[in-house]
Structure 1
Amino acid sequence: MNSLSVTWRSLACVLFSPVLALAQSVAVTVNTGTAVRTVDERVFGLNATMWDGEAGSAQTVNLIQQAGVRTIRIPGGSLSDEYHWRVNKTLNNTWTWSSGMNKFADLITGVNAQAFVTVNYGSGTPEEAAAWVAYANAATTSDAAIGTDSKGYNWQNAGTWAALRAAAPLGTDDGMNFLRRSRATPYALKYWEIGNECYGSWETDQQAVQWDPFTYATRAKDYITRMKAVDPTIKIGVVVQANEDELDAKSPQTPLVTNPRTGAAKKGWTPRVLARLKELGVTPDTVIYHRYEQAPKADAITWGGAYENDATLLQKAKTWPTDAAAIRQMVTDYLGATEGAKVEIVVTENNSVYAKPGKQTTNLVNGLFLADSIANVMQTEINALLWWDLRNGTDFTNNNGTDLYGWRGWGDYGIISSAASGGPATSYEGYPTYYAFKLLSKFARHGDSVVQATSGSSLLSVFAVKTLAGDTNLLVINKDPSATTTANFTVNGFTPASSASVFSYGKPQDDAAKPGGSGATDLASSTMTVSGASFSASFAPYSMTVIALSPASTTPTTPTTPTTPTTPTAPSTGGGGGGGGGGAPSLWFVGVLAALAWVRTFRKYSRA
């Protein structure tokens, strides 16, 4: 299979034809003078895991660079609460994991990415976390004391661990050569978080009172104090949930806390953590949120409820503003307006299903969802989104039903494959989620301005940015599985040049990756003619497209400066912000069928 882009192949995803003007038609308005926020590169993030032995390989680094990933989180979701970084083991295991700090560092530095590090709350100590900060960030001359922890291990001082980083490997490995990197220069890892989903009884928690918000917040103070004593410049986050009443059934149900604004008594994890932190005089730098959109079929059968559904998944991302607003309200309520304003919201895990990944995770719908999720997060004040994950593992045992779109008969959270008999031939094949990242790198980069875009259909999401170079880029996601949709664009405040660059990914590229498939598996690219600020383009079913409009003049409109951070409001029922409205599409005309028949002659492809 040829992985090179073929210019004319983009016609399979984006069609410009008088005949196709009769297809379903949607009005799209872009207001380039109305800024929503500034793009933070941390939204283009990805989790790396300790069980991925290829995490730091040159080939992985090259693929992640090409995908435009700008942030990496380590060491591996729920296992973070069992992971001892110094020995690259979890709990009392005698064996080591495939990737440790050495390979993680190769990935982070190779991509030149920012990083989030999850320290061990469940079975670790604040001193262990502080020593990890020292290894990553301290100078070899640092004498910041760390000391002996509650388990009796003496972590000495920060310089001890910086010196280990700077040392050359020993002739006889003492089990720590993977940490000897001959590197005196610190890695300068800025973002840290205390534990992973510590509110959940699925997490390892060796505290006397397990999954307890009071205990968590109390220990968090000690973690923050000790970690910042080593490096006061780092940013440290605590884990939260978006629902004020949400609490695991196995967590202590009391005491309740009172919301200072509403007077209501609340038992939820987030209110109790934040209220305790305020009581202790501690303001975290970030609050950490994880979001998975669906239950797996096996769990839904056991406990009831809905499970993976393509159409449902593709409408989930537009609710990000609701979650962002709920979290911001709790931060303000329980920490106070002044201290709460210092706290940023970040999302360090997101995917389509919370466990038992089936075929939806590896097929085209999840790629569309990834692009939609990140683009909708950019409509909120959330400053980071890290997808779960880079490379996870091939699983044939979950929901691979024919009611889900796609030809791959296995699940995998990763954006890059893991070789398996009957599945991927190598551990370096990009899934549609990989190409969604790559497409987003054509859409927006750090410092660009997100501007207002609205669509008249919930099946056609449209987003827009003004780039630092003065271009206007449009991201269009057609969520309809079978119908081509024509968008009638009105771009206010910007006059585009007569030619635009187009990048797209959809069914033709995905199908080309099938065994025996033909054609290009990479993004398709082309140019299109644009006749002023009002123009039309048609988008193939299940496709995602970026249209890059350069200005006709050298004096583009400067968008209004957004408030930072932008506090979102709940989305309206009529759409907006790029998430798509609920307008009904117009009729499907016979003329488009002939055009689609012509197009089909060219089609082919390509947790924790």
Structure 2
Amino acid sequence: MRKAVLAAILTLTSLTLPAAAQASAAPAEVVVNARAALATVSDTAIGTNHAIWDSQLGSDQTADLLKAAGVKLLRYPGGSYSDIYHWADHTAPGGYVAPDTDFDTFMRGVRRTGAQPMVTANYGTGTPEEAAAWVRHANVTKGYGVKLWEIGNENYGNGHYGAAWEADNHADKSPAEYARHVVAYADAMKAVDPTIKIGAVLTTPANWPDGVVGSGDAGTWNQVVLSTAGAKIDFVILHWYPGALDKAGQIPDLVQLTREQIARHAGPGSERIGIAMTEFNTGSSSAGTTTQPGALAAADAYASLLANGVFTVDWWNVHNGIGPVTEVAGHTDYGDFGLLSSAGCSGDVCEPAFNTPFAPYYALQMVGRFARAGDQFVRASSSGPAAHTVRRKDGSVAVMLVNASSEPVPVTIDYSGFDPASGAPTVLSHTNGATSITESTSGSATAQTLPPLSLTTLVVRPAAVPSGLPGAPGLPVASAVTDGAATLTWPAAAPGARPIAKYEVYRQNGAISEQYGETTGTSLRVTNLRPGTRYTFNVLARDTGGGQSWGSAPVTFTTVTPASSSCSVKLTNQSDWGSGYVGALEITNTGAAMNGWSLVFGWPRTWQSLGSGWSGVWTQTGSEVKVVNEPSGGSLATGASVTVGYVGNYSGPNVLPSVFTLNGRVCTTR
């Protein structure tokens, strides 16, 4: 079932290696900013999927390999099979169920792996009562303590939007019906065990059918599901098969847009709702699924998702099966979406022995050794290889570098907010074709040469480990946001050996921290902000001896446009098809009469462009879009409005434009 869907996706996607892999490498500069805090690594960060058609999902050998890879979450019973699977009699009508794959066998493997389970309850052909009985069996009868429960798999793929791959016996296949059942499932399941957490399926930004409003629906899938079921859920579920190896740069927007939808539609207390990426794979058979380029893309994406606060990223799949066979980076790529070989054959080409790790296995292992539970991601930037950094509780810093070039790349590393010890750091490395991660002590904390097509992690000790520092402040909250200011408020930090003297508030601008102010209290009004701009801030505590805490988790918000202006603009997304949309701009003149007008806005992201426009003369220069009045329609009296339309194309998360200027004046966006 998964392969059929992926085949359809891959025919629509351009599959290319990152540009860095096609050009000669140049020296690169990496900047690590230990003050610019991001998310803290959860204890379920590195995950993967088990499927009931895999007879080895509970075997000791498989469990031991997953444990060695650092896998901390195992999802069951496997993708779209979840919506045809009945746990009590271990059947999946219409699908294949392998021997030794029942729930208790799965749990035995979970425990041997040292992971936590995530169970997907059957929505498509099941009932709330069946799911509640599963909770009772798992947590009351057996005492397994399964905390994470999803309601269904990819239920938007039930035919409501046209494509149908997910089983759904409900006569009504709308998001409203799914949301009503999520409420019923949550009530029934939590009546058995109130401590469990319930997850609801969402569409992933910029992935079909995200943005599409079905016939008779009150909004998109996400809007309807969150509005109805938001009060009952504890996390949301995303799946992502980007289909190319250079998409990690889209992740901050992907996650932020999801958070904004949760905040907008899920009601009070929605900040408690987490984000889980329960299926992820590069989705790129031609560019490499079992070879090193795919592994590099996997490590980059895992680190990016975790740094942005996703609490688990779960590879599809442990065993999946041979696909299109190609030659990638000097090695045979078996087109297999599994971490481990299934030992299958395609014609006269056979995979290696069963359970042989593929390259992405080592990517997950590297991420698990780089970013451990409790570590805190901090900002890093690079002029070449992708760079990710975590700060550890023992004061050390780990830096993971992803060299997608086919040439060695020398790098220099500068640190802010961290003083590295002299001497060589610990270096973990995985190179093209390697069957293990090597560990050595080499180079320096500030200079390394990265092998071609490699993953490298440096573990750098601090020059000194200060003691008695204050704890990190709590998560800031933004309120009273205007076009030029916002109030940040945060829970106080715990003092260390000395009293806390003040709090310092920093804006994260890439890997640069810009101090916006300081206060002895736990609230600060930050000013001089730009309208319609996304900002990320975090807070540090400083004690009376000058000691500085770790950074708080970051808060991200977007300023609005002026409350009053000589013009206003209302943007309406009239229809959306997942890679483009029809936008309508209603322009109102609230100032003096105009004889000729020009409206300008900028695309927020490089993957957005103007397709066409009407009711005005449209042009695009770089990222700037301009529409001017048609020759016969230039007059705009005070209070008068005109509506123009356009097609906006996008190939990544669609961050809508929010700042519009009319004849040089910033308008109020309605």
Q: So what's the TM-score if we normalise by structure 1?
A: 0.70
Give the whole-Å Cα distance in 2 for the aligned partners of 1:433 and 1:455: 23
Counterpart position of 1:603: none
Asked if 1:324 is matched to 2:255, the reply is yes
Query: Residue 221 of structure 2 is aligned with which of 269, 292, 295?
Result: 269
Residues 429-479 of structure 1, C-alpha deviation per residue, up to 9 Å, x if partnerless?
A: 00001111121222111001111111123xx10111111222111100011
Give the whole-Å Cα distance in 2 for the aligned partners of 1:428 and 1:116: 23
Asked if 1:126 is matched to 2:122, the reply is no
Distance 1:562 1:47, change over 3 A: farther
Counterpart position of 1:208: 171
SS at match of 2:378: strand
Q: Contact 1:485–1:540 (CA<8 Å) still a contact in 2?
A: yes
Counterpart position of 1:563: 475
Task: Indicate the percent of aligned positions where both proteins have the same amino acid.
Answer: 32
Distance 1:415 1:568, change over 3 A: farther
Counterpart position of 2:378: 451
Counterpart position of 2:507: none
Any gaps of 5 or more consecutive residues in structure 2?
Answer: 1-23, 158-163, 477-552, 559-602, 607-670
Query: Residue 418 of structure 2 is aligned with which of 494, 499, 502?
Result: 494
Matched letter for residue 326 of structure 1: L
SS at match of 2:241: strand
Matched letter for residue 291 of structure 1: W
Asked if 1:347 is matched to 2:277, the reply is yes
Matched letter for residue 197 of structure 1: E
Matched letter for residue 292 of structure 1: Y
Asked if 1:291 is matched to 2:240, the reply is yes
Matched letter for residue 237 of structure 2: I
Matched letter for residue 526 of structure 1: S
- The Cα shift of 1:315 comes to 1.9
Asked if 1:478 is matched to 2:406, the reply is no
Counterpart position of 1:192: 149
Query: Residue 65 of structure 2 is aligned with which of 63, 66, 81?
Result: 63
SS at match of 1:477: strand
Asked if 1:254 is matched to 2:179, the reply is no
Q: Contact 1:72–1:108 (CA<8 Å) still a contact in 2?
A: yes
Give the whole-Å Cα distance in 1 for the aligned partners of 2:462 and 2:287: 42
Give the whole-Å Cα distance in 2 for the aligned partners of 1:476 and 1:563: 28
SS at match of 1:215: helix
Give the whole-Å Cα distance in 2 for the aligned partners of 1:245 and 1:43: 23
SS at match of 1:232: coil
- The Cα shift of 1:203 comes to 0.3
Residues 17-76 of structure 1, C-alpha deviation per residue, up to 9 Å, x if partnerless?
A: xxxxx9721111111232212111322111111111111111111111111111111110
Distance 1:488 1:220, change over 3 A: same
SS at match of 1:507: coil
Distance 1:573 1:292, change over 3 A: same
- The Cα shift of 1:358 comes to 5.6
Counterpart position of 1:528: 442
SS at match of 1:188: coil
Distance 1:528 1:364, change over 3 A: same
Any gaps of 5 or more consecutive residues in structure 1?
Answer: 1-21, 139-161, 166-185, 257-266, 295-312, 510-520, 575-608
Distance 1:92 1:562, change over 3 A: same
Query: Residue 241 of structure 1 is aligned with which of 198, 203, 212?
Result: 203
Q: Which has the higher helix share?
A: 1
- How many corresponding residue pairs? 452
Distance 1:342 1:560, change over 3 A: closer
- The Cα shift of 1:217 comes to 0.6
Structure 1 runs (4+) greater than 3 angstroms displaced: 92-98, 242-252, 556-562, 564-574
- The Cα shift of 1:339 comes to 2.7
Give the whole-Å Cα distance in 2 for the aligned partners of 1:562 and 1:524: 38
Give the whole-Å Cα distance in 1 for the aligned partners of 2:100 and 2:557: 44
Distance 1:70 1:32, change over 3 A: same
Distance 1:95 1:442, change over 3 A: closer
Matched letter for residue 341 of structure 1: E
SS at match of 1:90: coil
Matched letter for residue 430 of structure 2: Y
- The Cα shift of 1:366 comes to 1.2
- The Cα shift of 1:529 comes to 4.1
Give the whole-Å Cα distance in 2 for the aligned partners of 1:452 and 1:94: 46
Give the whole-Å Cα distance in 1 for the aligned partners of 2:412 and 2:554: 29
Residues 363-413 of structure 1, C-alpha deviation per residue, up to 9 Å, x if partnerless?
A: 111111111011101221222211111111223xx3x455x5452242211
Query: Residue 219 of structure 1 is aligned with which of 173, 181, 194?
Result: 181
Give the whole-Å Cα distance in 2 for the aligned partners of 1:55 and 1:43: 20
Counterpart position of 1:262: none
Counterpart position of 2:75: 73
Give the whole-Å Cα distance in 1 for the aligned partners of 2:438 and 2:311: 29
Distance 1:562 1:492, change over 3 A: farther
Instruction: Report 1:538-557 matches (<5 A).
Output: 538-555=449-466
Matched letter for residue 440 of structure 1: V
Distance 1:549 1:562, change over 3 A: farther
Give the whole-Å Cα distance in 2 for the aligned partners of 1:230 and 1:572: 47
Deviates more, 1:365-374 or 1:91-100: 91-100
- The Cα shift of 1:425 comes to 3.6
- The Cα shift of 1:120 comes to 0.3
Distance 1:122 1:406, change over 3 A: farther
Matched letter for residue 271 of structure 1: Q
Distance 1:207 1:318, change over 3 A: same
Matched letter for residue 386 of structure 2: S
Matched letter for residue 195 of structure 1: G
Q: Contact 2:343–2:352 (CA<8 Å) still a contact in 1?
A: yes
Q: Contact 2:45–2:373 (CA<8 Å) still a contact in 1?
A: no
Q: Contact 1:324–1:568 (CA<8 Å) still a contact in 2?
A: no
- The Cα shift of 1:332 comes to 1.1
- The Cα shift of 1:242 comes to 3.3
Asked if 1:365 is matched to 2:293, the reply is yes
Give the whole-Å Cα distance in 1 for the aligned partners of 2:557 and 2:331: 39
Give the whole-Å Cα distance in 2 for the aligned partners of 1:573 and 1:27: 24
- The Cα shift of 1:327 comes to 0.9
- The Cα shift of 1:123 comes to 0.5
Distance 1:471 1:562, change over 3 A: farther
Q: Which has the higher strand share?
A: 2
Give the whole-Å Cα distance in 1 for the aligned partners of 2:433 and 2:184: 54
- The Cα shift of 1:319 comes to 1.0
Instruction: Report 1:3-14 matches (<5 A).
Output: none
Residues 140-167 of structure 1, C-alpha deviation per residue, up to 9 Å, x if partnerless?
A: xxxxxxxxxxxxxxxxxxxxxx1xx4xx
SS at match of 1:208: coil
Distance 1:106 1:416, change over 3 A: same
SS at match of 1:525: strand
Give the whole-Å Cα distance in 2 for the aligned partners of 1:116 and 1:554: 38
Matched letter for residue 73 of structure 2: T
